[in-house]
Protein backbone atom coordinates (compact mmCIF):
# COMPACT_ATOMS: atom_id res chain seq x y z
CA UNK A 1 0.00 0.00 0.00
CA UNK A 2 1.25 3.47 -0.83
CA UNK A 3 2.36 5.70 1.99
CA UNK A 4 0.01 8.57 2.85
CA UNK A 5 1.33 11.68 1.13
CA UNK A 6 1.29 15.05 2.84
CA UNK A 7 0.64 17.20 -0.21
CA UNK A 8 2.77 20.16 -1.25
CA UNK A 9 3.01 21.95 -4.60
CA UNK A 10 4.82 25.24 -5.22
CA UNK A 11 3.88 27.73 -7.97
CA UNK A 12 6.77 26.43 -10.13
CA UNK A 13 5.82 22.87 -9.19
CA UNK A 14 2.25 23.34 -10.41
CA UNK A 15 3.56 24.51 -13.79
CA UNK A 16 6.03 21.62 -14.06
CA UNK A 17 3.48 18.95 -13.00
CA UNK A 18 0.96 20.29 -15.49
CA UNK A 19 3.59 19.90 -18.24
CA UNK A 20 4.62 16.40 -17.07
CA UNK A 21 1.20 14.86 -16.34
CA UNK A 22 -1.21 14.14 -19.17
CA UNK A 23 -4.51 14.71 -17.33
CA UNK A 24 -3.16 17.02 -14.67
CA UNK A 25 -4.75 20.10 -13.28
CA UNK A 26 -2.36 20.75 -10.40
CA UNK A 27 -2.73 23.79 -8.16
CA UNK A 28 -0.24 25.14 -5.60
CA UNK A 29 -0.99 23.92 -2.06
CA UNK A 30 0.52 23.11 1.34
CA UNK A 31 3.90 23.79 2.94
CA UNK A 32 7.22 22.32 1.78
CA UNK A 33 8.47 19.38 3.87
CA UNK A 34 12.05 20.39 2.99
CA UNK A 35 13.26 23.94 2.60
CA UNK A 36 16.67 25.50 2.00
CA UNK A 37 16.91 28.34 4.51
CA UNK A 38 20.15 29.74 3.13
CA UNK A 39 23.69 29.45 1.80
CA UNK A 40 26.37 31.79 3.13
CA UNK A 41 30.16 31.85 3.45
CA UNK A 42 31.29 30.78 6.95
CA UNK A 43 31.98 33.66 9.36
CA UNK A 44 35.32 32.08 10.30
CA UNK A 45 36.87 30.72 7.12
CA UNK A 46 34.60 31.67 4.22
CA UNK A 47 33.74 28.09 3.27
CA UNK A 48 30.20 27.58 1.96
CA UNK A 49 27.59 26.68 4.56
CA UNK A 50 24.05 25.58 3.85
CA UNK A 51 21.14 25.53 6.27
CA UNK A 52 18.11 23.32 5.54
CA UNK A 53 14.87 22.68 7.43
CA UNK A 54 13.60 19.11 7.00
CA UNK A 55 10.25 18.30 8.62
CA UNK A 56 10.92 20.98 11.24
CA UNK A 57 14.51 19.89 12.02
CA UNK A 58 17.47 22.07 11.03
CA UNK A 59 20.47 20.61 9.18
CA UNK A 60 23.58 22.77 8.75
CA UNK A 61 26.70 21.73 6.87
CA UNK A 62 30.06 23.34 6.18
CA UNK A 63 32.00 22.35 3.07
CA UNK A 64 35.78 22.08 3.42
CA UNK A 65 37.35 21.68 0.00
CA UNK A 66 40.33 19.73 1.42
CA UNK A 67 38.12 16.94 2.73
CA UNK A 68 36.85 17.08 6.32
CA UNK A 69 33.45 18.74 6.17
CA UNK A 70 31.12 19.04 9.14
CA UNK A 71 27.37 18.59 9.50
CA UNK A 72 25.09 19.49 12.41
CA UNK A 73 21.50 18.62 13.31
CA UNK A 74 19.46 20.85 15.61
CA UNK A 75 16.20 19.31 16.77
CA UNK A 76 15.22 21.10 19.98
CA UNK A 77 16.72 19.08 22.85
CA UNK A 78 18.51 16.76 20.46
CA UNK A 79 21.68 17.91 18.67
CA UNK A 80 24.23 15.91 16.73
CA UNK A 81 27.30 16.52 14.60
CA UNK A 82 29.52 14.50 12.35
CA UNK A 83 32.47 14.80 10.00
CA UNK A 84 31.92 13.87 6.35
CA UNK A 85 34.35 13.54 3.47
CA UNK A 86 33.00 15.13 0.30
CA UNK A 87 34.42 16.09 -3.12
CA UNK A 88 32.05 18.97 -3.78
CA UNK A 89 29.22 20.88 -2.16
CA UNK A 90 26.73 18.69 -4.06
CA UNK A 91 28.45 15.56 -2.76
CA UNK A 92 28.39 16.94 0.80
CA UNK A 93 24.69 17.82 0.52
CA UNK A 94 23.85 14.25 -0.54
CA UNK A 95 25.96 12.76 2.27
CA UNK A 96 24.58 15.17 4.88
CA UNK A 97 21.01 14.24 3.87
CA UNK A 98 21.91 10.54 4.14
CA UNK A 99 23.43 11.10 7.59
CA UNK A 100 20.32 13.07 8.61
CA UNK A 101 18.04 10.19 7.50
CA UNK A 102 20.20 7.64 9.34
CA UNK A 103 20.11 9.44 12.70
CA UNK A 104 16.54 10.80 12.53
CA UNK A 105 14.93 7.58 11.27
CA UNK A 106 16.57 5.66 14.12
CA UNK A 107 14.80 7.94 16.62
CA UNK A 108 11.35 7.57 15.08
CA UNK A 109 8.70 5.39 16.68
CA UNK A 110 7.81 2.72 14.14
CA UNK A 111 5.91 0.43 16.55
CA UNK A 112 2.48 1.35 15.16
CA UNK A 113 3.55 1.25 11.52
ZN1 LIG B 1 35.95 26.13 6.54
Give pLDDT tens digits for 40-61.
Answer: 999 999 999 999 999 999 999 9
Span from the CA of 48 to the centroid of ligand 1 (angstroms): 7
CB within 5 A of ion ligand 1: which residues? 45, 47, 64
CB 4 within 8 A of CB 26: no
CB 41 within 8 A of CB 51: no
* pTM, two decimal places: 0.84
Q: Which residues of 88-99 are buried (b: 16+ CB within 10 A; e: fewer)?
A: ebeebbebbbeb
Span from the CA of 54 to the centroid of ligand 1 (angstroms): 23
Give which of 61, 107, 102 is closest to 84, Cα–Cα: 61
**Cα–Cα distance measured from residue 94 to residue 63, given in angstroms and rounded to the nearest whole number:** 12
Span from the CA of 99 to the centroid of ligand 1 (angstroms): 20
pLDDT digits (tens, 9 = 90+) for 92-106: 999 999 999 999 877
Amino acid sequence: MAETVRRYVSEAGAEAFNDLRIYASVMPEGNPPIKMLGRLPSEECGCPEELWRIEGIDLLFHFEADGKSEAFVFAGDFEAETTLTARTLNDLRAKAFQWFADIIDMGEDTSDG
